[in-house]
Amino acid sequence: MTTSFQDDTLNPIMRSFDHVLSQLSGASAAGKVTYQGRMLDTIKRLLRHPDGIAAIEPRIAELEDAGIFEGTDWAVPSSLVPGMVGNTLRMAEPRTVALECVSLLRFLAAARDENARPSLPTEHARHFLAQVLALNLDRILGAHHEAARVKAGELDSAVDALLKHVLASVGTEGILGQLVDEVWRILRQRPIQVNHVKSMILQIALAMNEEGQNFNASDTRLGADRLISALFGPTELCREDPGLEVYRDRLGAADAGSLQAEATGMARAMHDTGLVSDYHAAFLRFVLESGQGYLVPDALGLSSTGLDSFRCYQALVQQLIDVAVRPGTAQAVLGIALMLERGILYSPPIAPSLWRVLGAKLSPACEGSLATAFGTETTPHQRLVAGVMLLLGQPLGIGQGNNPTCQSARALSMWALNDPDYLLWQLAQATSNDRIVMHFEGQPLDSALLPAGLALHTPLDADPVSVVLVPHLDRIYAEMGRRVAGRGEDPHRWINPELHGWWVGREFHIAVDIATGKLHDHDRFIRDFHTAYHPMHNGNEPVIHPQPAGIAVTDSQGTFVGWHAISIIRVALDQSGVMRVYFFNPNNDSGQDWGHGIVVSTQGNGERLGEASLPFAQFTSRLYIFHDDGLKTASEVPVDDDQVGIIRDLAQQSWASDRH
């Protein structure tokens, strides 16, 4: 069977495919291995092509008959284990990844009853694929973490596309419960970027509407209904998702009681899930345009703190809503509500800084970056104001996307949390002049005059503020690194205080020797961290300002992946009496398995929105850099040798296994 494609870039690959397929089919048993390798190299090229999956699919039976699986672990489909597919796709060499992809397409063809064979019945194929999808939800949801970024292979994008294709083809039956749980887990972290989550909720909604779909557990059904209704029908007047025009007509005909119910219903759904419906944006715009602005506080779900802030700055808040809140930027409603709850408008520079943002005329380059990242459904200025609201309302919800820019993302989070006035000043520089100027050891650094840093292109998978500021911050961070490169110590000793702010502790502690990479006085490092941050050892002194720190990231096997920037937010006892470090991880999902039983928690252990946490000892075992203010107290309590030994062992069993 031959499929014809008009794409000039695909046709040469398909001609090569047909040629090698013929060779593979006619090869002897001994010669199969050579032609299998050549075929897998061709398949790699196809998988990277936008139409490659569609080109391979009709040829699966031919590939199997030609012997693509012969002599491999994939030869007997019934012997394959769903739990091993994810590791193969992530960690195997490219030819093996390509073979796993072909195997998944073989299962997909059988699941559709297009290539069912005695060795691979249709029901077995569907069940296998459901398990594979459920076990690889992170890739389906687009939630990346450090280990995935660092270890990214040449076919990772193709694999992500294939998994999504399989999901769209076979549906979500069998994995709906796990999908619902995963979506809730991510939303409880209140990320700023939620488009991938919305896409999964749409998949869940479509699956639930299919005839015969049902959930085994009523709580799962309830969780799915809450997610779906929050997006598509949060209140009585839009329960059946009638469309925005019909909804506006209904609002125009509603009485005062119905409008009040709409306001409180919208707020309840928003704060319950962290998702904002386009109907919510339409409601807010309607009540402001119709002179019923008294309903805005109820629609935002404000407490007494937020209500007081709203009343003091009502004109500003209404203007922010008018510019930033509309279908397409509805999440800004949550940002505005949480910003008001923080009370930051009472800081004298914030309100005038926000008025400046509202009146800003963006430079052509700034507009171009925002339009490239977000399209033209809303203007770049509207998108930026919405992004500012989200970041000020959710300082711990910012993520670096799939970019190696954790330093810049951490800086934005820290400023939004601790110094929003400074954040807004940096944004004003970038939007007006396409540059920001910061100082390092008394010398100005102009981002417009510096070479690129780690981010070689404008980040397209980030929030609006990051799209504008990260390229500038990344250049400045890289330049700071160049200026201290010859000092023989870790550059963050000097960079962190200058980049992040005056509140960063000037006492610098590092667990490794820079010259050798080996552990250096690790026991002292562990004791110093206790006396700086552990309330039982530092006189019960809390963390005053968020502090930058560096962790040694490990994968689920405890294997070292790389260094990563985080912020220590606070240290406190959880509800079970366990002392925990609560920290900010600048990515889009902080719930990670770091191996040897160290699983980062994002909810259920006293975490506030956006925080991750670990028991103090587990966190310390992955720590390699921290700052403190050097203010010693007379009530410091020594750390037991046994406790130091436990932490040392946890480190030496993982990232420091070859460093001691």
User: What tokens appear for 44 in the block?
Assistant: 């790699």
SS3 612: strand
Name the DSSP letter for residue 364.
Answer: H
Provide the pLDDT confidence category of residue 210 given band limits of 50, 70 and 90.
low
CB 44 within 8 A of CB 95: yes
> Does residue 370 have a pLDDT over 50?
yes
Q: Is 289 exposed, middle or buried (0-12, 13-18, 19+ CB in 10 A)?
A: exposed
Written as one letter, the residue type at 230 is: A
- Number of Cβ within a 10 Å radius of residue 502: 9
Residue 17: per-residue pLDDT:
93
The ranges assigned to domains in the chain are: 11-170, 507-652
Query: In whole angstroms, what is the distance from residue 571 CA to residue 550 CA?
Result: 16
SS3 234: coil
- Mean pLDDT within 407-419: 95
The answer to whether the predicted template modeling score (pTM) of the entire model surpasses 0.85 is no
Quote the radius of gyration of the chain (alpha carbons, Å).
27
- Mean pLDDT within 361-371: 95
Return the HEC string of 395-428.
CCCCCCCCCCCHHHHHHHHHHHHHCHHHHHHHHH
Residue 107: per-residue pLDDT:
94
Q: Which tens digits make up the pLDDT trace of 64-106?
A: 999 999 999 898 888 888 888 988 998 889 999 999 999 999 9
Residue 642: per-residue pLDDT:
95
Residue 212: per-residue pLDDT:
45
Least confident of 269-273, 417-421, 429-433, 637-641: 637-641
> Does residue 217 have a pLDDT over 80?
no
Q: How far is CA 191 from the centre of its chain?
A: 7
User: What tokens appear for 275 in the block?
Assistant: 């998702």
Per-position DSSP letters for 456-509, written without gaps between them: -S--SSS-HHHHHHHHHHHHHHHHHHHHTGGGSS-THHHHHHHHH-TTS-SEEE
- Mean pLDDT within 462-467: 94
Residue 219: per-residue pLDDT:
63
Q: Is 497 exposed, middle or buried (0-12, 13-18, 19+ CB in 10 A)?
A: middle
Provide the pLDDT confidence category of residue 593 given band limits of 50, 70 and 90.
confident
Q: Is 653 exposed, middle or buried (0-12, 13-18, 19+ CB in 10 A)?
A: middle
More confident residue, 526 or 169: 526
CB 498 within 8 A of CB 491: no
Q: Which tens digits make up the pLDDT trace of 478-506?
A: 999 999 998 989 999 999 999 999 999 99
H/E segment holding residue 573: strand 560-573
Query: In whole angstroms, what is the distance from residue 495 CA to residue 504 CA?
Result: 10
Provide the pLDDT confidence category of residue 607 given band limits of 50, 70 and 90.
very high
Residues in the chain: 660
Q: Which tens digits make up the pLDDT trace of 110-167?
A: 988 887 777 788 888 887 888 888 778 777 766 555 666 666 677 888 999 999 899 8
Q: Which tens digits make up the pLDDT trace of 333-347?
A: 999 999 999 999 999
Q: Which residues of 560-599 are buried (b: 16+ CB within 10 A; e: fewer)?
A: bbebbbbbbbbbeebeeeebbbbbbbbbbbbbbbbbbebe
Residue 131: per-residue pLDDT:
80
Mean pLDDT of the chain: 90
Query: In whole angstroms, what is the distance from residue 293 CA to residue 265 CA?
Result: 16
Provide the pLDDT confidence category of residue 174 given band limits of 50, 70 and 90.
low
Residue 180: per-residue pLDDT:
85
Helices (H), ranges, 534-653: 616-621, 641-652
CB 583 within 8 A of CB 570: no
Q: How far is CA 546 from the centre of its chain?
A: 21
Least confident of 9-13, 564-568, 617-621: 9-13
Residue 86: per-residue pLDDT:
87
Query: In whole angstroms, what is the distance from residue 415 CA to residue 140 CA?
Result: 32
User: What tokens appear for 433 in the block?
Assistant: 């002049």
Based on DSSP, count helices (H) and strands (E) in the chain, helices before strands: 30, 8
Q: Which tens digits make up the pLDDT trace of 7-66?
A: 578 888 999 999 999 999 998 888 888 899 999 999 999 999 989 999 999 999 999 999
- Number of Cβ within a 10 Å radius of residue 521: 14
Q: Which tens digits make up the pLDDT trace of 180-199?
A: 888 898 899 999 999 888 88
SS3 83: helix
- Mean pLDDT within 524-528: 96
Residue 1: per-residue pLDDT:
38
User: What tokens appear for 479 in the block?
Assistant: 């330049």
